[in-house]
Amino acid sequence: MNKKLLVTKNGNCQLPNGYTLYWDANQVGGRTYWSDEIPAGVFVWDTVLVSEDTLLAAIVQEHKLLTQEKHGPFPIIGTNQDGHDI
């Protein structure tokens, strides 16, 4: 399966899952993103409401949780400088 994103002529993004990611400037200087994953469209992200770092952390965490649900917990390989298991 081709995992590349295809940017269309009007600037939208064709996603590998067959849906499209749309965005537009919002009224306060950021962007609002939405997708056609449901017929009426679905809100994805507003750059003014949630920072890029927060969104990325949520995506990474969700991927980790889904992987653990599928394959079991990750093995503990040591501890970080704060003493937490990694």
pLDDT tens for the chain, residues 1 to 86: 446 667 777 779 999 999 999 999 999 999 999 999 999 999 999 999 999 999 999 999 999 999 989 988 777 677 888 777 76
In this prediction, residue 1 carries a pLDDT of 40
Q: Is residue 54 part of a domain?
A: yes
Tell me the residue range of the domain where 43 lies: 6-71
Angle at 47 between CA 42 and CA 53, to 5 degrees: 110
4 Cβ contact list (under 8 Å, min separation 6): 16
29 Cβ contact list (under 8 Å, min separation 6): 48
In this prediction, residue 81 carries a pLDDT of 80
CB 4, CB 18: distance < 8 Å = no
The domain total for the chain is: 1
Q: Is residue 80 part of a domain?
A: no
CB 37, CB 19: distance < 8 Å = yes
